[in-house]
Amino acid sequence: MVKNRLATDAMIRLRARVGLPRGFVGLIVAVVLLLAATGGLALSLVLNLRSNDQDRIVLQGTGLSRTLADAAQRQFDVADLLLQFAAAEASDRISRGLTPSDAIVSLLTDRIAIMPQVDAVHVYDSRGRFWFAVGEAPMPLDISWHPGFAKHRDGMVQQINAAQSGGQPRVWLTRRINGADDSFAGLLIATLKIDLRALLDPAYYPLPVSTLALVHDEGRLVTGWPQPQATELAGLTRFVAGTQGYSSTGENPLYWSRLNDLPMTLLMQLEQQKVDRGWLRAAIGFGMLFGIVTLGAIAAVWGTWRQLERRAATESLLRGMMDNPPLVMTLQDPHGRYLMINQFFARQFNRDPEDLVGRTAKEVFQPELAARLTQQVEETVQAGKPLTFDMRIPDLNGRMRDFMLVRFPIFDRSGTLLAVGSIATDITERKTLEAALREQAAVREKLAENYARQREVAETANRAKSEFLAHMSHELRTPLNAIIGFSDMIAGRLLGPQSAKYFEYAEDISSSAKHLLGVINDILDVSKIESGRFDLELGTHDPQDMVDDSLRLVRGRAREAGVQLVNRLPEDLPSLLVDARAVKQILINLLSNAVKFTPTGGMVSVEAGRLPDGGLTFTVCDTGIGIAEDNLERVFEPFWQADAGIRRSEGSGLGLNICRKLIELHGGNIRVASVPQQGTRVTVTFPATCVAPVAA
């Protein structure tokens, strides 16, 4: 408290020296309190007048909605009373064996003439067929299908429903006709049209009603005015609660009242009320009074306002110059007590500016640092000119920061020392960055050179490999095809009989050439896939057909090896959207490997199934010698083969590698599971995108 008071006194002395008038604070406070009291009193009176006016309008609207609901209730009650008389007359005549039509027609004709709300009354027999009618209103000839008719037949006496007649909303008011033994003898249906506009008498209720709607509890509009707005208003029944209420949340006020004995609710919407002149005149009068008081207050403080404006502008400039630059800036009195601190200083040392004002450096920093800062202020005061200092200052986290500090004295017009200002620039990051940049420049230069050299070598090697394999296709395939062709001619004895040894050599030549061609084809396939030149020819294919074709090509080899081939595909598999040639190549490679490594008497099977995510899998199982667990991941490496102890025949070592690349081109994957001396399971998974949609 004492420190803050000392700092405040110092600021007051500083402001007085630059010409700030004394006593202006008390004057401003008094004027503000006077204006606040006057304005609050005026506002309270105006709001009270307006609240009373709004309450009056709400009471009038609530009363009007209740009155209209009661009037609509009476319209229904009178019509229902007519139906009761007609039903009683009809029941009496039926019990006496007479036809009720003449008497009922006469009774209804007389009553409908004085009931504008009743369009017509229709009479139906016990089977729901039209009997006779009084009045004009279209109605069906048979209502036995209507649920309301069934309810009356089961014992219900009276019912009210919302309906449509000629495209206009109407009300069906129904009454049961009983026979001699209280059995169901027929039904009276009165078609009602309630004119809500006619019930509204502007002479008694001058409120500006914009919309009226009578809504059934089921949400259907019974009647309304005007029709389009009433239809929209009927959709607001979900916000209506209780027997009576009011809501002003929408654009126009909404009132509702529920009919006492009927499942209906009257909705009424008023236009926005015009401003009442009574409270508006009071508001204008109080506003004028408040303006006069305000002008008097302005005149009272006008002499000091200009000086206050100059001071505010000066302080704003000073605060803006201190807070915006990324510099540590302070203002201290000649004794070292902080008068002003900018935001950058507070953030730099994680302190609240209000906690630092009025304190000295000894109360903020460590003793050694505080002594140096205090000495700098004393040296600046003694020198009477700006001084520059280089120093390291720890922040509150204990990290050392490098600063370049400039201190300067501030004098008034008479030459009296007012304060000592300081501007400190944090150069820690700059120094650290400069050192790091110097160290990293050499490293980056070496890395750039190595990267460029290695990238050039890699690109050259990769380009040379791909170009060599791609361009050697024609040169390698053509002579091999010729060798195979001539060898097949010799092996087929097309040139006449020769020695048995000669034919044996020819068969060896043909076999070796075919083997070499297969190796080269595998290498070229791998090259095309890696170079991105292997394009899938997607089409819709039956999995069963592709598996049958693959088994047919491997069946001869399996027969020679004494291995049984089994097709275990289910019959409800969907078609696949794949490259059939690539899928067959995958299956043939897997089946060939399975036959190759399965002993005589073993079995190789093909299975398939659907995945929960919509994908499809093929699984090739064998009862062969299996693969050691350490070698499961290596089977997909190019040119890798099992050791001589388990290898059954020669091969290129690219089969499984090609399978994995082909299935990955389809977006799928391949997995191998094996147990030595028990068998191997290779599963190929196609994603859901490769499964063709099933036709409806």
Query: CA 269, CA 237: separation in Å to the nearest integer?
Result: 13
What tens digit of pLDDT does each residue of 378-395 get?
888 888 888 888 877 776
Which 8-state DSSP code applies to residue 217? T
Is residue 451 pLDDT above 90, yes or no?
no
What mean pLDDT, rounded, does the chain reach? 76
Distances (CA, A) of 341 to 12, 298, 313, 349, 392: 17, 34, 18, 12, 19
The SS3 of residue 5 is helix
What tens digit of pLDDT does each residue of 521-553 get?
666 676 677 666 777 888 899 999 989 988 888
Amino acid (one-letter) located at 488: D
Name the residue with higher pLDDT: 281 or 83.
83
Is residue 492 pLDDT above 60, yes or no?
yes
Is residue 180 pLDDT above 60, yes or no?
yes
pTM exceeds 0.85, yes or no: no
Contact criterion met (CB below 8 Å) for 184 and 124: no
What is the pLDDT, as a whole number, of residue 165? 63
What is the pLDDT, as a whole number, of residue 424? 82
φ, ψ at 237 (rounded to 5°): -65, -20
Range 41-57 burial, b when 16+ CB lie within 10 A, else e: ebeeebeebbeebeeee
Is residue 646 pLDDT above 70, yes or no?
no
Distances (CA, A) of 77 to 11, 63, 69, 115, 208: 86, 21, 12, 12, 28
Sequence-distant (6+) residues with CB within 8 A of 255 are 61, 62, 64, 65, 245, 246, 267, 268, 269, 270
Query: CA 644, CA 419: separation in Å to the nearest integer?
Result: 95
The SS3 of residue 218 is coil
Task: Name the CA radius of gyration of the chain, rounded.
Answer: 52
Name the residue with higher pLDDT: 293 or 424.
424
φ, ψ at 371 (rounded to 5°): -65, -40
What is the pLDDT, as a whole number, of residue 616? 92
| Position 605 confidence tier, pLDDT thresholds 50, 70, 90 | very high
What is the pLDDT, as a whole number, of residue 201? 64
Distances (CA, A) of 357 to 8, 104, 133, 303, 467: 9, 101, 97, 31, 77
Name the residue with higher pLDDT: 276 or 531.
531
Task: Give 109-172 as a DSSP string.
Answer: HHHHTT-TTEEEEEEEETTSBEEEEEE-----SB-TTSHHHHHHHTT--EEEEEEEETTEEEEE
Query: CA 453, CA 16: separation in Å to the nearest integer?
Result: 74
Beta-bridge partners for 604? 565, 622
Is residue 396 pLDDT above 50, yes or no?
yes
Give the residue among 522, 566, 562, 534 at the shortest CA–CA distance from 547.
Answer: 566
Query: CA 267, CA 244: separation in Å to the nearest integer?
Result: 10
Distances (CA, A) of 125 to 175, 177, 186, 297: 12, 9, 4, 89
What tens digit of pLDDT does each residue of 4-63 get?
555 545 444 444 444 445 556 666 777 777 777 777 776 777 677 667 766 777 777 777
Average pLDDT over residues 342-371: 78
Q: How many residues does the chain have?
A: 696
Q: What share of the chain is helix, strand, coil (3-state, %, to 5)?
A: 50, 20, 30
Contact criterion met (CB below 8 Å) for 670 and 684: yes
| Position 669 confidence tier, pLDDT thresholds 50, 70, 90 | very high
Average pLDDT over residues 83-111: 75
